[in-house]
A and B are shown apart, each in its own frame.
Chain A
């Protein structure tokens, strides 16, 4: 299959390994990966702040460039939700509505794509560590993808998954929220870090780098030992 990868701006800049791991995995599975260098961002920061017109400017370009793709794999549940759930809403009754719905139908968050679309769970990965999994809210609730990531992790050799308390509770990132209300965001993150630490895990795994960026930022500041890692990096390891 021809798979178009959508790499969100922050993954491009700060977490390139996540994107490269996805390329490795998809190619290992025999798919042809394409990437449009000029598709940079889904527009979510503007959308979340209420600036829908400014969002449409960015979204229109995404729609147009991804129009001919067979399947689009998105390296973040949050951007996935933007394209799958909110593009159809911001273009509701607009001329772009059919294109937005067409894109939504072929968009997948990475773990969802592997498990639900391709039917793969065993990627032959090995990762000798104890990990705990944090569900990114957008992937979990907007896309309804709770099971795929855990199905994938259960097949990784030498990996132990320990669920943390309130694994489905938000880590407090929330995009612009983290900067607009840092005190609330930080408190939520502290609760999350504590739940993760209590499991005794070496790693906090998630399928959303945006949550991990927040959690890692807090852990680093507090000098904590636990590390964060994206699911794709684990799956690409052998």
Chain B
């Protein structure tokens, strides 16, 4: 068993049995579900909206090359410097290069999962720069030196009291369990940082090919400040963020808000197209856009699973996933957790190391049912399982399934197995649930259904 899998199992066992975690997450997501359903009902037809969104993303991905060129040309025409990064190392080097050239000391960041993906903060801190997350949830997990627990709600796993303790310890603030007061504490700490920052780094929710613009949608206004105050702005985004037209936002913005947080629309929606132009009162003097591939083009080449690139990172599939709800976001050990993480991580970071995430699913399909862009998530878990087994099969398992096939195709052998099961059943009681029980994985927590005195086949025969 690989170290990554061992860690996953250990962590999953710990969190799955943690009743406090279970009720915390259930309560948080229960509220989300109520809100989401109310907002979904406000769509004339949510199902049709999903269909249109899926088709729009197909269109975007089918001619991604053309869309990207259009996007970049428009951006560059306004004086934006666009950089292409094939992988995380390149993206980090590009960004560090800009920071160095600007002789910057302090960097303020708004939420960007792509930055987590390439471990940008660590790289900047290693070079001695001060990096501050400005999204409240991200700010909290940064203070805790933790990865985000969820792609949309980074600090969902924490109670108000825990956050108060953290602020008290790290920022010296007075204890409070009033959410507004907690927000104010963070805001006061962050205001100073905005003013001190030389560089602002943002992610992107959408990249509009038609107009060459970055769309950022957020609830706290922190991305706006991150973009507006520092002299230099950098946006890091994956190449799959493209939407063909500006008009597509009319669907995608409310859809993202509804699926992601049960909101009609997110509070602040901004578009960025370039640095400050002569005569404009605000905006950065210099604007850099870093386009990240990091194996996305490989996923694009996979005809079966390329729809995974449609993901708008709304987090809805995490929210409905019973696995995610029980093991929690950190257990995955990946930037992208939940169903979408289980689907794409093997593509982004290696199938053999991350195939267990595709196996750790009951394939219930709640993710696919909820995904606003109709990614065939749970079937892709099956595809990953197949690809993993074909590439590097576990020989014990493979042999077992060969035997299984032979038995299931032969009534005589099946009868032998049935007879054996009957004989061994009384003996099973002696070892049941213990270390010598071959069925321990099941019987440790569950009773095993006994073989009936007369099976269906036997009863059927008697009737004839």
Contacts and interface: CB of A to CB of B under 8 A. Distances in A.
A199 interface: no
B447 A177 contact: no
B428 to A, nearest CB: 14
B31 interface: no
Given A170-B366, A177-B359, A177-B363, A46 B449 contact: no
B456 interface: yes
A159 interface: no
Query: What's the interface size class on A, roughly?
Result: 35 or more
B460 interface: yes
B451 A187 contact: no
Interface stretch (B153-161, B248-256, B322-330): B322-330
Given A16-B454, A20-B459, A187-B17, A181 B9 contact: yes
Contact of B362 (A7, A15, A177, A221): A177
B456 A16 contact: yes
Nearest to A90: B386
Interface stretch (B125-133, B184-192, B437-445): B437-445
B45 interface: no
Interface string B395-415: 001100110110011010010
A40 B411 contact: yes
Contacts of B359: 177, 180-181
Given A7-B456, A180-B441, A186-B446, A57 B405 contact: yes
Contacts of B20: none
B389 A174 contact: no
Contact of B361 (A17, A46, A142, A177): A177
A188 B362 contact: yes
B143 interface: no
B263 to A, nearest CB: 22
Interface in A139-180: 140-142, 168-170, 172-175, 177-180
B378 to A, nearest CB: 8
Contacts of A181: 9, 12, 359-360
Interface string A7-22: 1011111111101100
B360 A184 contact: yes
A150 B234 CA distance: 55
B369 A182 contact: no
B360 A13 contact: no
Given A46-B401, A141-B365, A184-B360, A178 B442 contact: yes
Nearest to A165: B30
Given A11-B456, A14-B451, A20-B459, A185 B362 contact: yes
A43 interface: yes
B1 to A, nearest CB: 11
Contact of A13 (B12, B26, B397, B451): B451
B366 A187 contact: no
A58 B405 contact: yes
B390 interface: yes
Given A170-B364, A177-B359, A182-B441, A191 B326 contact: yes
A38 interface: yes
A16 B441 contact: no
B457 interface: yes
Given A7-B456, A217-B447, A137 B442 contact: no
B401 A13 contact: no
A233 B279 CA distance: 79
A49 B404 CA distance: 12
State the main secondary structure of chain A at its contact with B. Answer: helix
Query: What's the interface size class on B, roughly?
Result: 35 or more
Contacts of A173: 362
Interface in A118-143: 137-138, 140-142
A177 to B, nearest CB: 5
B13 interface: yes
Highest count of chain B CB atoms <10 Å: which of A13, A20, A35, A175 = A13
A177 B457 contact: no
B77 interface: no
Nearest to B444: A182
Contacts of B411: 37-38, 40
A191 B23 CA distance: 10
A172 B364 CA distance: 9
B60 interface: no
Interface string B333-375: 0000000000000000000000000011111111011000000
B245 interface: no
B42 interface: no
B418 interface: yes
B28 interface: no
A216 interface: yes
A228 B364 CA distance: 20
Contacts of A61: 409
B442 A216 contact: no
Given A41-B408, A57-B405, A172-B322, A14 B16 contact: no
7 contacts: A12-B456, A14-B451, A17-B452, A170-B366, A184-B16, A186-B16, A186-B445
Closest 9 CB pairs of A and B: A174-B362, A50-B389, A217-B446, A50-B385, A170-B364, A187-B16, A141-B365, A137-B364, A220-B447
Interface of B: 9, 12-13, 16-17, 22, 26, 322-323, 326-327, 359-366, 368-369, 382, 385-390, 393, 397-398, 401-402, 404-405, 408-409, 411, 414, 418, 421, 441-442, 444-452, 454-461
Interface of A: 7, 9-17, 19-20, 23, 35, 37-38, 40-41, 43, 45-52, 54-55, 57-58, 61, 137-138, 140-142, 168-170, 172-175, 177-189, 191, 213-214, 216-218, 220-221
Given A183-B9, A184-B327, 8 more contacts: A13-B418, A13-B421, A14-B449, A16-B458, A43-B408, A50-B385, A184-B326, A189-B446
